[in-house]
Chain A
Amino acid sequence: MTLLAERDPVAAARPPLSVDAARAPRPLPAPLLRIAGVSLEYRTPERVVRAAHRIDLDVHEADRFVLLGPSGCGKSTLLKAVAGFIPPVEGTITLDGAPVRGPGPDRIVVFQEFDQLPPWKTVIENVAFPLRAARGLGRREARERARATIEKVGLSAFADSYPHQLSGGMKQRVAIARALAMQPRVLLMDEPFAALDALTRRRMQEELLALWDEARLTLLFVTHSIEEALVVGNRVALLSPHPGRVRGEYNCHDFDLSSIGSRAFQAAVQRLHGRLFEPAEAPR
């Protein structure tokens, strides 16, 4: 278990492009996304609930950073705070050194729900629309980039279909294509594959890793599946529930889809499983 020990914001060297470089014992570069002492609360008609308490996390360039935890650990709330939908009650979230103030196209979110695609736009319009609305590209340029990205996720044949004509997995591919085309600084994924069947989910994980390998995106990925966390991520932050606190950060850059079933993978699963299901300590 490697806990995040050294943190040196002054060492603003070029961030490593591959995870292997991060293993070398050299001072860490400045993180791309810094979550510092962030507490989040939400309000019900009767009370105010603390969803996350003083979270500290650093996400570096090209990380596939996974937030793992049971329901109620505030991982989705934390992701929405990074996206700018929920302001933290304390602490700061900074992206490239600038504080996050609201939703913006430099942090595109892929949601779990299938209704994230406006149903009145075809696949290609769905991908091209934010390019025009937020990036200010021209009609033709936006369509070209949209077409190229749609080809990357293998949906060229469905470019002119409407979302209601697609299967769940295809809709998520469109959402991913839309996010990729925007080239955000961080791609935020809120349990993007949770509503898919197991076979489709496996294929989508494979494709996501291939896309990451090609573009070296920075991912912040929320899941409640230990296996998915280990396969998709290179680093996993485990959150404890009620309220969400960071239980630990673990490396898993050695695992991919082919390592499922291997002894080391099973051991890692067991280790995370043990920490997820450990008996709650008595409140101090």
Chain B
Amino acid sequence: MSRFAVPPIRPEIDRVLPPFVEAPVERALPLATRLWQQEWLRKGLILAVLALAWEALARWQDNDLLLPGFLATLSALADGVASGEILERVRISLTVLAQGYLAGVALAFGLTSLAVSTQFGRDLLSTLTAMFNPLPAIALLPLALLWFGLGTGSLVFVLVHAVLWPLALNTYAGFQGVPETLRMTGRNYGLTGLSYVGQILVPAALPAILSGLKIGWAFAWRTLIAAELVFGAASGRGGLGWYIFQNRNELYTDRVFAGLLLVIAIGLVVETVVFASLERVTVRRWGQVR
């Protein structure tokens, strides 16, 4: 290799391209690949494998008192549904949950709106979340029982505590992440105040708000079941947690498993049906989330 190497001069090439007909420009994926791209199929497979492993373990263990199998649990669940008892328990739990969740969401939006508009609101939000977010909601239950008595009031109080802080933190982070250009565009239209928050900030921060709603939902659901386990015994008509507690005392282990299965199933349905649909028609459609 010489330092003064000169690239050779080659003749120019100039060809007229005929229309391309040798092969199709695009073709469909094979059926197996397309099926594997279906999320529900992959997730259903995971669930089926888990159920199979459970059933196999239960049969090998062979002790219905300690570990009833998947099929035994399903039949206990079917009995409970048929008698209407378990559905009534679910209804009670979900009613309380809805009250606490909605109250928590409303408070969180109030607090974050204050935080985006004033310096004092920001300090208030960051101080309160730093104080209360690490505090387990269930730890407040004895206090709540003292203040609100044995009943829905106490449950709603701990639920609000479970939802409010994580949602407020997420929503505030989402508002802060809205690009400056988008903010200026909104102000350029002459939007101010609530219409600016509602038309620009909330939709732009929706990925963060949705993830806050999801975390809040999970916190609320687990707090509710735990709270019912603790003090449901004292109240006359308990929810799903009380159902689990009561049946464990009476050593109906298959019903305990049926109750737990229902807790998991409701969580799965809310996550994959409610929140996934919400995401599909909003943030995924808008390309904010892949």
Contacts and interface: CB of A to CB of B under 8 A. Distances in A.
Interface of A: 80, 83, 85, 102-105, 107-109, 111, 113, 115-120, 129-130, 133-134, 162-165
Contacts of B285: 162
A120 B282 contact: yes
26 contacts: A80-B184, A85-B184, A103-B184, A104-B188, A107-B188, A108-B188, A109-B185, A113-B179, A115-B179, A115-B182, A116-B181, A118-B185, A119-B287, A120-B203, A120-B288, A129-B189, A129-B199, A130-B188, A133-B189, A133-B199, A134-B189, A134-B191, A162-B285, A162-B286, A164-B286, A164-B288
B200 interface: yes
A85 B188 CA distance: 8
B160 interface: no
A118 B188 CA distance: 13
Contact of B184 (A111, A117, A163): A111
B189 A130 contact: yes
B248 interface: no
Given A133-B195, A162-B285, 13 more contacts: A83-B188, A105-B189, A108-B188, A113-B181, A116-B181, A117-B185, A119-B288, A120-B282, A120-B286, A120-B288, A129-B189, A133-B199, A134-B191
**Most A Cβ at <10 Å: residue of B181, B200, B288:** B181
Contacts of B182: 115-116, 118
A105 B190 contact: yes
B189 to A, nearest CB: 4
B190 A109 contact: no
Interface of B: 179, 181-182, 184-185, 187-191, 195, 199-200, 203-204, 206, 282, 285-288
Given A105-B189, A108-B188, A134-B189, A164 B287 contact: yes
A162 B127 CA distance: 39
Given A104-B190, A118-B204, A120-B282, A163 B287 contact: yes
Contact of B188 (A103, A120, A163): A103
A177 to B, nearest CB: 14
Contacts of A118: 182, 185, 200, 203-204
Nearest to A117: B185
Give the dominant DSSP class at B's interface.
Answer: helix
Contacts, number: 68
A120 B282 CA distance: 7
Contacts of B282: 120
Which residue, A83, A119, A120, has most C-beta atoms of chain B within 10 A? Answer: A120
A119 B185 CA distance: 12
Contacts of B190: 103-105, 133-134
A130 B199 CA distance: 11
Contacts of B287: 119, 162-165
A222 to B, nearest CB: 14
Contact of A111 (B181, B189, B191, B206): B181
Nearest to B206: A120
Nearest to A105: B190
Contact of A109 (B179, B188, B195): B188
Nearest to B182: A115
A64 to B, nearest CB: 21
A126 to B, nearest CB: 10
A120 B204 CA distance: 8
Contacts of B288: 119-120, 164
Nearest to B183: A85
A18 B84 CA distance: 82
Contacts of B203: 118, 120
Contacts of A103: 184, 187-188, 190
A117 B191 CA distance: 15
Contacts of A105: 188-190
Contacts of B187: 85, 102-103
A127 B11 CA distance: 52
Nearest to B180: A113
Contacts of B199: 129, 133
B285 to A, nearest CB: 7
A122 B57 CA distance: 53
B236 to A, nearest CB: 47
A200 B285 CA distance: 27
Which of A115, A117, A163 gathers most chain B CB within 10 Å? Answer: A115
Contacts of A80: 184
Most buried by B among A103, A113, A130, A133: A103
